[in-house]
Amino acid sequence: MTASISETIVIPGIGPVGGDSGMLVLEKCSDGYHRSGENGVVSIVSTGDRKVEFINFEDRALAFVNSAMGYPAYYPVHELKVEKPVEAVLMDLDGTTVRSEEFWIWIIEQTTASLLGDKNFQLEDSDIPYVSGHSVSEHLKYCINKYCQDKDVEEARAFYFEHTRRELEAIMQGHGRKGAFTPSPGIKEFLLELKSMGIKLGLVTSGLYEKAWPEIISAFETMGLGDPKEFYDSIITAGYPLEKGSPGTLGELSPKPHPWLYTEVSRVGLGIDFDKRHHVIGIEDSGAGVASIVLAGFSAFGVADGNIIKSGTKALCSHYAEKFDEIIEFIE
């Protein structure tokens, strides 16, 4: 049984969430291991999209990350706070740094149309929180479960990469989908200001390298910021796709809302110890990304125009901004 939150509930480490949060109250965890009121569990709440469930005890909380692919996971919830000076800013790519979500949702739509053999197929508005912000396989599994249950993820992935490679090649040749990759408003000034303040910059994406890198290159060419490998202190993508006849890298079962991409860019990419995590903030426009930042132990700064509100994750944000200027004001 699920219901909207009717009174304030505290998630230890994160803080209070109320009835306007879009989060849900659960009687038990999806895997059945935890039930509210039993074995020290005070309450159980989930994000509005049911991707992450918080099992709350008096002095601690666990986060249960669901998986459409059948491999869920539990994580401890660490205390969130920001300590100045801010030493590093970790930023999402799609929707935060570059406006590209519509393009990738269109690719998912084209993939589903191919699975159905219906070129006129269109996703519904209610599908959007489930086809953005997560891994490719999670997006495709959602569409299969809803629209074509006789298909499998492997077949869907073949169509997905066929569409992706064709469209990316067209874009790189200058005759692809117009407006596919454009820098977010104010992002150039924001990045340059952070650089002038001596803050380390990490770029993080759940996107596979072959789809993420053209976006980054395109945006940096538009902004005139040179080589992104030189500009950023660390860049982490979800690696390379696993395809028959060639090796892949870990990236489909571990991306957002799991914490690993953000922990990787901070600890390995930037060399920041876990006990210094309060000097790090993460910026996201998606619910999955916000959850990923929070589970990594960093404070999440949400930015508008993504699916944070629709996914019921705004309460997980330490701050929510309409413009990047608001984040600069907080950091200074």
- How many Å apart are CA 76 and CA 259, to the nearest integer? 11
User: Which residue positions in the chain have pLDDT lower than 50?
Assistant: none
**Residue 15: beta bridge partners?**
11
CA 134 to chain centre: 6
Render the burial of 211-222: b for 16+ CB within 10 Å, e for the rest: bbbbbbebbbee
* Six-digit token string for 243: 């395809």
Distance CA 288, CA 118 (A): 30
Domain boundaries, the chain: 2-76, 88-100+182-331, 101-172
> What is the reported pLDDT for 1?
63
DSSP state string for 3-14: EE--S-EEETTT
Cα 139 to Cα 159: distance, rounded to the nearest angstrom:
13
How far from the centroid of its chain's Cα atoms is residue 75's Cα? 16
The packing angle between helices 153-172 and 101-116, to 10°, is 130
Q: Where are the alpha helices (DSSP H) in the chain?
A: 101-116, 136-147, 153-172, 187-196, 209-223, 228-231, 260-263, 287-295, 324-331
**Superfamily per CATH, domain 88-100+182-331:** HAD superfamily/HAD-like (3.40.50.1000)
Q: Write down the pLDDT at residue 2.
A: 76
Task: Please give the pLDDT value at position 143.
Answer: 97
> Residue 252: what pLDDT?
87
pLDDT at 174: 75
**In this predicted model, what pLDDT tens digit does every residue of 39-79 receive, in sequence order?**
999 999 999 999 999 999 999 999 999 998 999 999 999 99
